[in-house]
Amino acid sequence: MSEQVNRPAAPYIGSEATIGPYLGHTRVAYFSMEIALRAEIHTYSGGLGVLAGDTARAAADLSLPMVFVTLVSRQGYLQQAIDEDGRQVDRADPWKPADYATPLRAKVAVIIGGREVWIRPWLYPLGSAIGRTVPVLLLDTALPENHADDQTITDTLYGGDMTYRFKQEVVLGIGGLRLLQALGFHIDRYHMNEGHAALLALDLLRRYPRPLDQVAPGELKLDVAEVRQACVFTTHTPIEAGHDTFSYELVGHLLQGYIELDQVRQLAGSDQLNMTRLALNLSGYINGVAVRHAEVTTRMFPGYDIRAITNGVHAPQWAHPAFAEVFNRHSLKWGYSPEVMQRFDQLPDDLVWQAHQQAKGHLLELVQRVSRQKLALDVPILGFARRFTAYKRPELIFSDLARLQAIHARYPFQLVLAGKAHPNDQPAKELIHSIHSMIRALAPEIRMAFLPNYDLSIARTVIAGADVWVNTPEPPMEASGTSGMKAGLNGVLNLSVLDGWWIEAHIEGVTGWSIGNHAGASADALYDKLERAVLPMYYQDRPRWIWMMKQAISKIGSTFNAHRMMRRYAAEAYIARRPSWEVSTHAPPPF
């Protein structure tokens, strides 16, 4: 294997880009509202999309027989600017599909609100240096034959109102399913990454009527078992608002005559069409994205057998090039077989520290370039970058400015933040504004920078370049979290509330540190840990710090890895398809 193996693969765009080469062997279709393919392709908003992108990269490395389906999102999600006053300014974030993808000739129609809406896919072949290219289909309704209103359905990720969202989900689920068939795919498993694509299961269901003489009044007229055999569902959030619900009035209006609504009510909830419930009822394999999250989801939706496949990140995508080089000296196989990273606790201290300082240097350059701030290489950087939303509590570290100043006086530190607030999330926008005020209040003593427009590219630099990766969600809201995994494999130490994936990875003083306990964490708990454990070790016990970096690289890098995750999906969800309820001690799904 060449050194290239462990670098992010260059996207392969062949001039002969057609779907033909993939048809014969593809068996699994993965549907996601967002997929982060590369920074220039604005088809993602945050963790869900980045996970889907790492899923596709790992699938390509492992040559899994998969096709990926998402929306083209021509106007992107959100380009974030920050104004003079420290407020988020929302801008469209357009990209040109023709610059990166190839339009296919196939076209299918769905009927939405009584009108035909035509859908054409773009093909983005996602290459791997060590495996097989997997096709990604980006669904597009911007076609001249469509009504002007319908041409914009695939424009803005998570934009518009509930009507717009439902139209997008019809295009993704029903349109995507029909397109795969029109293209000639023979799919055995449909993997719904979050509930947005659950209408695909409904469209499958319409094809399996039960013999009417076997249907008692009030029973389902369709054969759910057939559909469950084919469907896999991964749920991603315990947040109520994260589960799309639509009024049956809206559904009836947009899908008139498509399916009897009393049948849908039995599967998706009697008052509202709940996409999560629909997916739960129509899937034979259901999982959460961390052990804790599966438990929490089981309590939210009793009666379903919800397994856990803990998320992972694509190591070659997230390892800083300086670390990739150090890793390569030890083993060239880490990009393909993350197990070899277990032994990376044996890496030489000086090489690990040098690689880290190099990654940190890149972050200093980025901060200097975008926020004209000069950070210091020998002062620890606390990093906090994530989607801005109330439950992630980005303001927690600013709870007591006097305490923060006192800690800084004893043990200087720097802080780098980044993250977008959804355009409609007013409280999160307020957080961005108030955090900017506090950054100003603490300057110039405490050096802090907020980097606008958090995306794949900024994430790579910020996460690998920090010394400590801070995470302060309100448990149990963080289903998994993945940025801490990216940090760990770069020897960046996690300081995190015990929630999501961190419950599985945390060993106190070894892989990182906890804040508070399983029930929750206060600002005081964060300050105490910073002042008594984290910062003193950075300044007074560098050998122990580097030892911890190596523990994090080996334990987190080898396990919280997208290859491990995809091997589990392949073995447990795609191949071993004994329906969950047959092997479960739980009651069968409740209908």
- Least Å distance, CB 206 to ligand PLP, is 36
Q: Which of 492, 470, 448, 480 is nearest to 320 (CA)?
A: 492
CB 314 to ligand PLP: min, Å = 11
Nearer to ligand PLP, 75 or 453 (CB): 453
C-alpha span between 338 and 344 (Å, rounded)? 10
Burial class of 73 by CB neighbour count within 10 A (0 to 12, 13 to 18, 19+): buried
User: Residue 496: CB partners within 8 Å, gap ≥ 6?
Assistant: 469, 470, 471, 472, 481, 484, 502, 506, 512, 513, 514, 515
List beta partners, residue 418. 385, 451
Which has the closest alpha carbon to 68: 117, 19, 31? 31
State the virtual CA torsion across 54, 384, 358, 368 in degrees, nearest 10.
120
Comparison of 258 and 454: residue with beta carbon closer to ligand PLP? 454
Q: Is the CB of 65 or the CB of 419 nearer to ligand PLP? A: 419
Which positions lie near ligand PLP, rule CB under 6 A?
Answer: 46-47, 50, 386-387, 454-456, 459, 481-484, 486
Query: Which residue lies nearer to ligand PLP by CB, 50 or 278?
Result: 50
Min CB(17)–ligand PLP separation in Å:
27
Q: In this complex, which beta carbon is closest to ligand PLP, that of residue 53 or of residue 121?
A: 53
Those residues with Cβ within 8 angstroms of residue 20's Cβ, 6 or more apart along the chain or in another chain? none
- Which is nearer to ligand PLP, 459 or 548 (by Cβ)? 459
Minimum distance from CB of 329 to ligand PLP (Å)? 27
Residues 6+ apart with CB under 8 A from 372: none
CA dihedral (322, 325, 329, 331) positive or negative: positive
Tokens, residue 148: 């002007």
Residue 124 CB, nearest distance to ligand PLP (Å)? 18
Burial 202-239 (b: 16+ CB within 10 A, else e): bbbbeeeeeeeeeeeeeebbbbbeebbbbbbbbbbbbe
Shortest Å, Cβ 498 to ligand PLP: 15
Structure tokens at 399: 């709870």
Nearer to ligand PLP, 135 or 484 (CB): 484
Site of tokens 């057998």: 305
Round to the nearest angstrom and report the end-to-end CA distance of the chain. 53
Residues with Cβ < 8 Å from 353, sequence gap 6 or more? 546, 549
Q: Which is nearer to ligand PLP, 34 or 305 (CB)?
A: 34
Shortest distance, position 488 Cβ to ligand PLP, whole Å: 11
Cβ neighbours around 45 below 10 Å, total: 22
Nearer to ligand PLP, 282 or 493 (CB): 493
CB of 454 to ligand PLP, least distance (A): 6
Q: Report, in Å, the least distance between residue 318 CB and ligand PLP.
A: 8
Q: How far is the CB of 258 from ligand PLP (least distance, A)?
A: 35
Closest CB to ligand PLP among residues 189, 386:
386
The C-alpha atoms of residue 454 and residue 256 are separated, in whole angstroms, by 40
